[in-house]
Amino acid sequence: MTATPTLTDRTALDRHRTRARRAPELFLHEAAADDLEDRLSVVNRTFTRPAVVTPYPELWEGRLPGACVVADDAVLALEPGAHDLVLHALALHWADDPVGQLIQCRRALQPDGLFLGVAFGGRTLTELRAALGQAEVEVTGGLSPRVAPMADIRDLGALLQRAGLALPVADGFALTATYESALHLMRDLRAMGETNALAARLRHPTRRSVLMRAVALYAEAFAGEDGRVPATFDFVALTGWAPDESQPRPLRPGSAAHRLADVLGTEEKPLRD
């Protein structure tokens, strides 16, 4: 059995999150929580044993009464088959094993229980990635890991199937924030505990010359007419159900009772070799 590669330095991540709680700027996590609430509001079902996986439990106070709120640890503190609803709120990008996180959520669900998650998608912070990468290459001649890897919507949707969730659906939405400069964006990321906690990161502060060059490149490439710079945050919403016999299933190939040509009123023509 191959060990799961270590992506995240959990000690550093916990330190960043603890620091963020002193002066939080959690608008992205609030946006994710709001989206999950909106999605729940259109589900025609009453949930009595919900659970929430989140790095910031304080955001869920009063949102989902009676919910079991647990941290996004490698091993989730969820009992198998104990919940009819599990939410995973904006933490998959720090997971060494995102499939494992979803499998644990599925195991925590009762049959026909609902899983809802929100994760960062692959277009998140594309502007910052580009500016920092170019600046580091220009100044140091090298490139180091700075932003956690984030999957696109298709890959995240495939994780639902790999985790054994039925009726999987992935869809996305984007949020664009604007800042006075890239430094102000970095300050916000620090205030929400989202600064670099990659295990492979450089273990010394970024050189000022790299930061200043990144700020200049960011403004040159992306600043608007008002001089402010945008930052893209790509969200992917994930929906799946714990398998149950009551759920609709696709027919077996070849089991159709009618020809498609007959239904459409057309003539079926065989393809030439």
Q: Other CB atoms closer than 10 Å to residue 54's CB: what's the count?
A: 22
pLDDT, position 264: 66
pLDDT, position 146: 87
pLDDT, position 123: 94
Lowest mean pLDDT among 26-35, 153-162, 200-209: 200-209
pLDDT, position 143: 87
Residue 256 pLDDT level (bands cut at 50, 70, 90): low
Alpha carbon separation from 269 to 57, 230, 254, 273 (Å, rounded): 61, 54, 18, 12
pLDDT, position 82: 98
State the burial class of residue 50 (Cβ atoms within 10 Å of its Cβ: 0-12, 13-18, 19+): buried
Q: How many whole angstroms separate alpha carbon 120 and alpha carbon 118? A: 7
Tell me the mean pLDDT in the region 17-22: 89
Q: Is the pLDDT of residue 262 over 80?
A: no
pLDDT, position 251: 55
Q: Is the pLDDT of residue 2 over 60?
A: no
Alpha carbon separation from 78 to 17, 48, 70, 104 (Å, rounded): 22, 15, 8, 8
Q: Is the CB of residue 92 less than 8 Å from the CB of residue 236?
A: no
Residue 203 pLDDT level (bands cut at 50, 70, 90): confident
Q: Domains in the chain, ordered, with CATH?
A: 10-244 (3.40.50.150)
Tell me the mean pLDDT in the region 148-163: 92
Q: How many whole angstroms separate alpha carbon 80 and alpha carbon 159? A: 20
pLDDT, position 3: 65
Residue 5 pLDDT level (bands cut at 50, 70, 90): confident
Q: Average pLDDT over the chain, rounded to whole?
A: 91
Q: Is the CB of residue 172 less than 8 Å from the CB of residue 234?
A: yes
Q: How many whole angstroms separate alpha carbon 206 and alpha carbon 196? A: 11
Which neighbouring-strand residues pair with 178?
Answer: 230
